[in-house]
Amino acid sequence: MHPTKRSRQLVDHSFFPFLQFNNQKNKIKHKSFIIVSALFLSIGLLLTLIGAELLIKKPTVEPDVFFGMDIGYGDEQTAIKLIDKVEDYVNLIILGSLQLTNDTEALTRVCDHLYQKNMHFIIFVSFAEHGYTPARGPDPQFFIQATEKWGDKFLGVYVFDEVGGKLIDGAHSINMTEANNYNMAATRYTHHVDFYLENITRYYQNATFPVFTSDYALYWFDYLSGYDVVFAEFVGNDSRQLAAGLCRGAAKTLNKTWGVIITWPHNDLDSFVENPDQLYDDMLLAFQNGAKYIIVFNSPGFSVEDGQTIPNPAPTEYGTLTSQHLDKMQKFWNYLQTHPPADNYPANTAYVLPSDYGSGLRGPEDKIWGKWEADLISPQILSDINLLLQTHVLFLDIVYETQIGSTPVNLPYDKLLFWNGTTIKK
């Protein structure tokens, strides 16, 4: 029997003789009941569908500032604990521990947890310990499915870090012995890092995702190598404004995005995180400079014993952070909610370095491309930058006199102050 015919028979009162005496009246009541029931059923179904849609699709409005924490240590339980602790005052988590990102099943559960909390996230992977592949991170198929599964909450992949800074400090494997001049060094650097990144993409089956990193030098060349977003490190006693001006200038000129990550307070690592007041000041300074991403790095680091890398124990229940640090993060989050977004690129004046001048600019001890000592023009460049940073503060970017291939790079500033004393006003 056809289902629709059967259902009509079940509600046809003519089949029951004892109801015939009031059949007409009952029919009217029954029709009203059916109409009302159908109305409530339709409303209920609509609300159910709306609710399901809200559960499936999270809001897609991009925040003015991505503010959050890089969880650079621990396992799945560590990540869940920290996520639940800070969920009310961050909108971004970087899953930065290889202990977690190497475990695809655990990583998937943590990403699901973040997605349900409507939080954005970035996933860290690293190059192989020896050679280029396989990557250290989740299974090769992982990022093929990430965007489909988590939508715009999955922002991209953080691949390695501090390539430029480590090169200058002699702690990176890029071989510069064959580079005879700055141009050859720059070419070797960008080709080498691009090769690294291509191997990562190939390993992950050519999945498409934005690529992030952090650095404390050579931001311009990180972008040229293929990174989409670079976080300038606020680290040690290094000038925060120098880091912001270099990274922001590279991002503006090369049409990229930039941010800040607040890392170690001292280069000797006697302390794992700066004091809460300094942390708040650094977050505020990053915002005032226009950083799109503002990240607090949370990891006790590693020790090497008998050739083995061993994670250091976390000094507090929240990693390197105390409850006072978290209070400052919440205070900063409240500040973001009550202040208009800053201009990501506020500077209209730029100091222009010589082409391919690969110095960290932290002082006369910084080598150029990790190979050459400071040259004859280095003292004047350092003096110029220090003076300009004092007078221009937030409104100075530092860029390069260069071109990509045979195409000159347009420097989008009203005023250009060149290293050789030339000034151009547009």
Q: What is the pLDDT of residue 375?
A: 95
Q: Dump pLDDT digits (tens) for 51-104.
A: 444 444 444 678 999 999 999 999 999 999 999 999 999 999 999 999 999 999
pLDDT at 48 over 90: no
Task: Give 35 or 130, the one with higher predicted confidence.
Answer: 130
Please return the burial class of 169, using the count of CB atoms within 10 Å of its CB with bins 0-12, 13-18 and 19+: middle
Residues 6+ apart with CB under 8 A from 94: 68, 69, 70, 71, 72, 121, 122, 123, 124, 158, 295
CB atoms within 10 A of CB 31: 10
pTM score, whole prediction: 0.85
pLDDT at 284 over 70: yes
Angle at Cα 157 formed by Cα 125 and Cα 298, nearest 5°? 70
SS3 313: coil
> What is the Cα–Cα distance from 93 to 87, expressed in whole angstroms?
9
> What is the Cα–Cα distance from 213 to 166, expressed in whole angstroms?
13
For residue 153, give the DSSP letter.
G
> What is the Cα–Cα distance from 240 to 233, expressed in whole angstroms?
8
Q: What's the distance, CA 33 to chain centroid?
A: 57
Summarize the confidence of residues 14-41 as an average pLDDT: 42
Summarize the confidence of residues 17-45 as an average pLDDT: 44
Pick the closest to residue 164 from 105, 119, 213, 197 (CA basis). 213
Q: Quick one: pLDDT band at residue 414, thresholds 50, 70, 90?
A: very high
Q: Dump pLDDT digits (tens) for 102-117.
A: 999 999 999 999 999 9
DSSP string over 400-413:
ES-EETTEEPP---
Q: Quick one: pLDDT band at residue 266, thresholds 50, 70, 90?
A: low
Question: Is the link from the previous residue into 134 a cis peptide, with omega within 30 of 0?
Answer: yes
SS3 249: helix
Q: Dump pLDDT digits (tens) for 143-195.
A: 999 999 999 999 999 999 999 999 999 887 788 989 999 999 999 999 999 99
> What is the Cα–Cα distance from 117 to 122, expressed in whole angstroms?
15
pLDDT at 411 over 60: yes
pLDDT at 402 over 90: no
Pick the closest to residue 216 from 363, 389, 98 (CA basis). 363
Q: Dump pLDDT digits (tens) for 287-328.
A: 999 999 999 999 998 887 877 778 889 999 999 999 999 999
Q: Which fold has domain 66-338?
A: TIM Barrel (3.20.20)
C-alpha distance across the termini of the chain, in Å:
84
Q: Quick one: pLDDT band at residue 127, thresholds 50, 70, 90?
A: confident
pLDDT at 267 over 70: no
Q: Decide if 263 contacts 290 (C-beta within 8 A).
A: no
